[in-house]
Structure 1
Amino acid sequence: MLETSSEARKGHRARHRALRRTGWVLLGTALATASFAGIAFAGVSASMADSFAAAPRGSDAGVWPAARPVPEGRITVAVAVGNEGSVATDVLAPYQVFAESRDMFVYTVAAERRVSPLSGGAHLLPDHTLAEVADGTLPEPDVVVVPAVTDPTGAGEERLRRWIVERHHRGARILGVCAGSELLAASGLLDGRDATSFWSNITSLERSYPKVAWKRGLRYVEDGRVTTTAGVTSGTMGALRLVEELAGTAEATRIGTGLSYPGWTPDGPTAIPANHLALGDLPYAFNAAFPWLRPTTAIGLVDGVEEIDAAAAFEGYGGVSFATRTLVIGAGDTVTTRHGLVLVTRSAKGGAHGADRFVVPGVTNTSDLGSALDGWARRNGLAAELPGGGRRSGEFGFDPVLRDLAESSDRRTALATAKFSEYPSAHLELTGASWPWRSTLLAAAAVVVSVGVGLAPTAIRHTVRRRRPTA
């Protein structure tokens, strides 16, 4: 009996030790996981803060250009933006498409006429306010473009959601670009309709908005007077479709041919690959989660720059790729694009900003910069560069930036940027490194640190046990 009792006590102690070891392992694993998640969360937060950076100092006190008057007899397009932040290409690409039409007039509108951040470090001065349309100061728009905004379901965009629904009730067509469909879904405007969105959002949208029939693998979806598009650059094709319907096939063909979006033809197929997350997308995650030590790209803008050229630089170098930190530099406090959009910039009259490169989209020669930008480059010891050597004949504005991104960063980042912009990439000829080693090494370092944090409790326990006096 005594022997049996002794064996039972030994078994009990063995089970107790095993449970204790398991507890320490679980604690270490939890700490390691939490540590890695915390590092990555901090990195993503820093990346997003850079992408939707605060307006340049002093811009809130600027004397802004007056908005252009809205002419009579034209098809009117209002491009809505969120005051707290919008995706640059969702705003700028449809804006250029509609503004290229002789039959249309385009303006931007927000809850307040104050500087609004765009992804990639850019800033926009809206032309008008929601109230100016609602109270009849401006004519009712025939089309409202809705981009992705930083807080589509929040109280801060409640006025914008109500305003969009009211415009639709008054007869406007609605074009929701990329994740702009979430703002439309939150407004209730998509209930009972077919719709699409950015490919990586659709699963969560299906859970949050089950009354909407979400579609995958389509460049755009039309349901009545509401059109929604797939990710980022898809707004170009969605806008061309509305130009075709409102201004005619010939007008859409003229604009679309000039823009050279790969594969676009009037009434062409809308099917596109139904993308999914893959191992090849790791550069996107690494660049966003581990932004430390990345270079800084200064983007120089000149008056008359095409909106899509500017958007490609904002997204390619920062807003989608997260490959670099971006600074937007202009000759003065503002730059006016080819079709009248006002972008707020850091003035070239200012000092150095620690940039590693200076790229100037939308010009054919660096001699076209003007004295202010040229002087800024020389003071900062930089040579002005055209992205990818400049836009070639028959290229869409994203092509030269993606070529340059592959060369200056790596090919995998360029391809992931195209994928997350939902932009065709099969035609791209890319050279450069094969992988983003900076962010990958930082990710590996984060793993090492996190494992160390996870092992710390066990190491402390063993140290305490060794120092405990024995009887």
Structure 2
Amino acid sequence: MSFVGRVGRIVLVLVAALALPATVAVVDTRAAFAGSYTAPPPAPSPLPAPPAHDPTRRTAVVVASTQGAAVSDALGAYEALAATGAFNVYLAAPDRHPLPLTGGLDVLPDLSFADVDQRLGGAAPDLVVVPAVPDAATPTSRPVEEWVARQWGRSLVVSICNGAGVLASAGLLDGHRATAHWTRIDSWQQAFPAVDWQRGQRWIDDGALISTAGVLSGIDGTLHAIDRLLGPAAAARAAVALHWTPRPVVQEQHTWSPADAIVALNAGFRWDPPRIGVLLTDGVSESALAAVFDTYGAQVLATRTVALGAEVAQVVRSRHGLVLLTRGTVADTAVDRLLVPGGVVPRINGGPAPELVPARGTDPFDAVLHDVAAHVDVPTARWVARAMEYPDADLEFTGPGWPVGLVARPFLLAAVGVGLVAAVGGLRRARAKVSA
């Protein structure tokens, strides 16, 4: 065989080894990430009444796009603000219809943007929080950009995670210092070079704007905004209400590492991910909900979450009155585990034994990260902590290590690909001999 022929055969073997696992990984990864946001159920009829407005209180608005918002970004800020008792806190969107949050939690916005404007009589809210939205810097997020732009300079604005992309797309961050999630800040810098993007900081106070890094740094940025508007005592009380330990402003700047291969393995090769039911109960803490739906539903990429009611599909009210929508009941939905975020475990019929997570009086994100380590594996828990920017230096996880069977799957697929090519080649040679 000639040299060119040998090189061609080697290339063919390499392509065969990579093609099958790569194709499987791409298809499964797309499905895994698509599962972070799924179409919400229909709006309840009639719509639940929006919360009452107290004109003696300040007003804070957490925005969402027509496509939804990141669950921890939105609900962490929502609960921190509501816990002060000093704000009318509204989750607002372009229209008042059900929206998906990451991980499969569906909410009904308290108000539309037009409703907010009407309630305030043209005045601006005291505080506007912009969480990450799935359509940041795209045409469908324009209504959010336009509404926030009208408040710019009149309201204190907090961007959380990739909510900074919404503001940058609107041109509001030009000339300002800002930060965003460590996995996206480089792409935002390329897209919006007029912004002074900063790394290695949990939040940045640039006057009219407080921007935060990834996900849970949004709680710290919101607490700083509370400090500015109400004082340090109010911020401290809000942190206690969330069982949250405020973190330093300066933090490690995360970068991709070899250990992050667990993300590709989970997304691309977990072919039968466990389904976790999340039981919604009246009075549930917003941050406890976020802890379960963001980890197991959005970040782990090896599990799926579904919001369930105890006996009938229903509307549930969170601790501070946010309208939550279930997608079924425990009795009629097959799940592998049933988690109950915070609160009390109600009596239910059927399904797996309910598991309270977290226990009362504990940081829900800490508790759920340990649950991930125990029920999935420690590398996944460490990835989730980094992805959510939960400082994990002091977390001592207990659970399985690297999943050997999962690691082997792409190599087995590669071997199958090479075997198929070899079989086809052998068949062609056999046919050639017969023809000769």
TM-score, normalized by the shorter chain, greater than 0.5: yes
Partner of 1:383: 353
Distance in 2 (CA, whole Å) between partners of 1:199 and 1:20 is 46
CA offsets 1:357-380 (integer angstroms, 9 cap, x no match):
1110112x53xx1x4xx12xxx22
> 1:199 Cα deviation (Å)?
0.9
With over 3 angstroms needed to count, the CA separation of the structure-2 counterparts of 1:298 and 1:204, relative to structure 1, is same
Distance in 1 (CA, whole Å) between partners of 2:426 and 2:406 is 35
Give the length in aligned residue pairs: 432
Answering whether residue 135 of structure 2 is matched by residue 151 of structure 1, we say yes
Distance in 1 (CA, whole Å) between partners of 2:113 and 2:52 is 16
Partner of 2:305: 326
> 1:399 Cα deviation (Å)?
1.3
Answering whether residue 66 of structure 2 is matched by residue 83 of structure 1, we say yes
Which one of 374, 380, 388 corresponds to residue 421 of structure 1? Answer: 388
Distance in 2 (CA, whole Å) between partners of 1:438 and 1:229 is 38
Answering whether residue 4 of structure 2 is matched by residue 19 of structure 1, we say yes
> 1:75 Cα deviation (Å)?
1.5
Maintained 8 Å contact 2:79/2:242: no
Maintained 8 Å contact 2:179/2:203: yes
Distance in 2 (CA, whole Å) between partners of 1:31 and 1:153 is 38
With over 3 angstroms needed to count, the CA separation of the structure-2 counterparts of 1:244 and 1:36, relative to structure 1, is same
Which one of 340, 349, 359 corresponds to residue 339 of structure 2? Answer: 359
1:280-429 → structure 2 map (5 Å cutoff): 280-331=259-310, 332-348=313-329, 351-363=331-343, 365-366=344-345, 369=346, 371=347, 374-375=348-349, 379-380=350-351, 382-387=352-357, 390-391=358-359, 393=361, 395-429=362-396
Distance in 2 (CA, whole Å) between partners of 1:227 and 1:19 is 60
With over 3 angstroms needed to count, the CA separation of the structure-2 counterparts of 1:77 and 1:36, relative to structure 1, is same
Maintained 8 Å contact 1:46/1:291: no
Maintained 8 Å contact 2:36/2:103: yes
Consecutive unaligned residues of structure 2, counting only runs of 5 or more, are none
1:109-258 → structure 2 map (5 Å cutoff): 109-134=92-117, 139-169=123-153, 171-258=154-241
Counterpart residue identity of residue 11, structure 2: L
Distance in 2 (CA, whole Å) between partners of 1:256 and 1:130 is 28
Partner of 1:96: 79
> 1:243 Cα deviation (Å)?
0.2
With over 3 angstroms needed to count, the CA separation of the structure-2 counterparts of 1:404 and 1:24, relative to structure 1, is same
> 1:435 Cα deviation (Å)?
2.3
Consecutive unaligned residues of structure 1, counting only runs of 5 or more, are 1-13
Answering whether residue 433 of structure 2 is matched by residue 448 of structure 1, we say no
> SS of 1:468's equivalent?
helix
Answering whether residue 429 of structure 2 is matched by residue 465 of structure 1, we say yes
> 1:24 Cα deviation (Å)?
4.5
Counterpart residue identity of residue 297, structure 2: G
CA offsets 1:358-415 (integer angstroms, 9 cap, x no match):
110112x53xx1x4xx12xxx22x111122xx4364x322011111111111122111
The RMSD of aligned alpha carbons is: 2.3
Counterpart residue identity of residue 143, structure 1: L
Q: Which has the higher Rg, Structure 1 or Structure 2?
A: 1
| TM-score of the pair, normalised by structure 2 | 0.92
| TM-score of the pair, normalised by structure 1 | 0.86
With over 3 angstroms needed to count, the CA separation of the structure-2 counterparts of 1:131 and 1:27, relative to structure 1, is farther
Partner of 1:260: 243
> 1:62 Cα deviation (Å)?
3.6
Partner of 1:36: 21
Maintained 8 Å contact 1:83/1:117: no
Partner of 1:5: none
Counterpart residue identity of residue 126, structure 2: D
Distance in 1 (CA, whole Å) between partners of 2:12 and 2:371 is 46
Q: Which has the higher helix share?
A: 1
Maintained 8 Å contact 2:239/2:245: no
Distance in 1 (CA, whole Å) between partners of 2:270 and 2:141 is 29
Q: Kindly, what percent of the aligned residue pairs are identical? A: 35
